[in-house]
Every structure is written in C-alpha cells, then in structure tokens.
Structure 1
Amino acid sequence: MDYHALFQISASGMALEKLRLDTTAANIANMNVAYAPGEAGYRPMRVVAQTAQLGFSQQFGSMYRAVGGVQSMSVVQESAPPRLAHEPGHPLANAQGMVAYPGVNHTQEMVNMTAALRAYEANVAAMNAAKTMAARALDIGGQQ
C-alpha cells in the first residue's frame, strides 16, 4: 500500500482549508474598512479549488496508486455590491451622507470559517489514521 499517496491527499486538503481560512480571515478583517461610494474598495475573496484529475495511465493502473486530492487552488475576488451606510459625519461620506463598506456577509464568513476548520480537522484525522496503519504494518512485519 502506498502511504505516501495517502499523506499527499490529506496534505493537499489541509493546504486548501488553510487557504480558505486565510481568505475568510482577510474578508472579516476588511469588512468594516470604509471607502467613499464610487471608489474601488475591498472586494470579498473566495477560494476556488479543483480536484486532481487522474490521467489514463493512473486510471488504468491500480486504484491504490492513483493520487487524488486537490490539484489547483486560486483566490478570486467576488463582485458583491458594497454595503452602504448612512453616516453623514464620516470623512468618506458622499453628498448624501452615504459611506460604502465591502459587501462581506459576516454570517457567511463565520460559516466558511467553521467549515474550513472542520474539514482541516478531518484531513488531519485521515493523515493520522494512515500514519497509524503504516506503523501497525511495520509492527506486524517485524513480528514475523
């Protein structure tokens, strides 16, 4: 059994979830950064990931040799409209007293953060299970 492939799959999942958590943290950190309406302000970001596509030779070969996991990850900016707030005394307010804030949905960001954390924990558990299996296989092999 190829334990390296198991570790590689879990590691790619952990890298993805860390990137999702970093992106969520950036969105939350910038959600209350005001800018004048009509100007370019912070735009929320999302992580886009793609599963690893197996080539013909990998699909034709044994299943335990085929490495899955995450193939590519990128961060894209969303086109969410800004959240406008009426704050006439704010230095960035326009003539109508409106100030723009990034269109970050706090509730959605908290859900994303929790989901990333749980998925990261699941990948750690899978890696630990593979490590335990490998150690047990070495123990069994050493007893003969």
Structure 2
Amino acid sequence: MKLLSALRIAGSGLMAQRVRLNISSMNLANAHVTRTAEGGPYRAKDVVLAAIPLENEAKAKLSEVKVVEIVDDPSPFKEVYDPSHPDADERGMVKYPNVDILTEMVELLSAGRAYEANLTVMNITKTLALKTLEILR
C-alpha cells in the first residue's frame, strides 16, 4: 500500500469520526429540549457512513469512509406525565426527545476510540515516511 493511500484512508476516518462525535454531542446537549424552532421536541440524529473505493487502487480493493448523510432517528418520543410543564398537551403528557443517553455515551466512546486509532495510523505512516527518507540519504 502506498503511504499516501494510508494517509488518505486514515484522514477520511478522522473526518467521519469527528462527525460522529459532533452529532452524538449534539444529541446529548439536546436530550431535554421539548420545543425546537421546527416545533415539537428535538429528534435525535444518526450518522450514515459508507465505504467508498479509492481511485487508482482497484487491485488492492482499498476503501475510505465517507459520511453519506445525517438522518433523524425514527424512534418515538418519550412521553412523561407532567401537567405543569408548559409543553404539556391536553392530557398532561409532555413529549421528550428520543435521545437515549446510554446509547449516546457508547457512541461517544466508540467514535473517540476510532478517532484515536486513525490518528495512530497517521502518526505511524508519518514515522515510516521519515525513516524511509533517512535510509535514502
């Protein structure tokens, strides 16, 4: 594998994990928002990733990761009985976001570890390139 291909793959992984970290952080920050500008409670977001084959690397079958889209989580909102809440309906039920705190924490840990792994790949690739240049001198 070429060193530049390794850097490109690890770089795409860094970008994808950064998006996952941002979206998960946004979900956690809005976990109790019952009223948004669009109306209704905040709806959790999910990141859709895809493996895209690298150009000029058909033989090696190498792929980089890309963020395809950010979609709304279709799961239902959580309903809590609280008639004193300003967003309560006529039955006294308040709709809270469909954000699962535990799932988001696991997502943050997973994305953070994947980010670290890609950063390690980039550092090792850089070290290999520098050692190669030293040998060639």
Task: State the TM-score, normalized to the length of structure 2.
Answer: 0.89
Aligned pairs, number? 134
Partner of residue 84, structure 1 = 79
Q: Which residue of 2 aligns with 1:132?
A: 127
Match of 1:26 in 2: 26
Structure 1 residues 137 and 54 mapped into 2: Cα distance closer, same or farther (>3 Å)?
Answer: closer
In structure 1, what is the Cα distance between the partners aligned to 2:6 and 2:99? Answer: 36
TM-score (norm 1): 0.85
Structure 1 segments of 4+ aligned residues over 3 angstroms from their partners? none
Q: Residues 137 and 114 from structure 1, CA distance in 2 versus in 1: closer, same or farther, beyond 3 angstroms? A: same
Q: 2:3 corresponds to which residue?
A: 3
Aligned counterpart in structure 2 of residue 103 of structure 1, from 98, 101, 105: 98
In 1, the alpha carbon distance for the partners of 2:67 and 2:89 equals 42
Q: Deviations for 1:101-123, whole angstroms, at most 9, x for unmatched residues?
A: 11111000000000000000000
Aligned-CA RMSD value: 1.8
Determine which structure has the larger helix proportion and give its number. Answer: 1
1:14 corresponding residue in structure 2: 14
- What residue is the counterpart of 1:70 in the other structure? 65
Q: What is aligned with 2:109?
A: 114
Percent of aligned pairs with the same amino acid: 34
Shift of 1:136: 0.5
1:15-62 CA deviation, whole Å, 9 max, x = no partner?
000000011011111110124xxx64321111101101357x6324xx
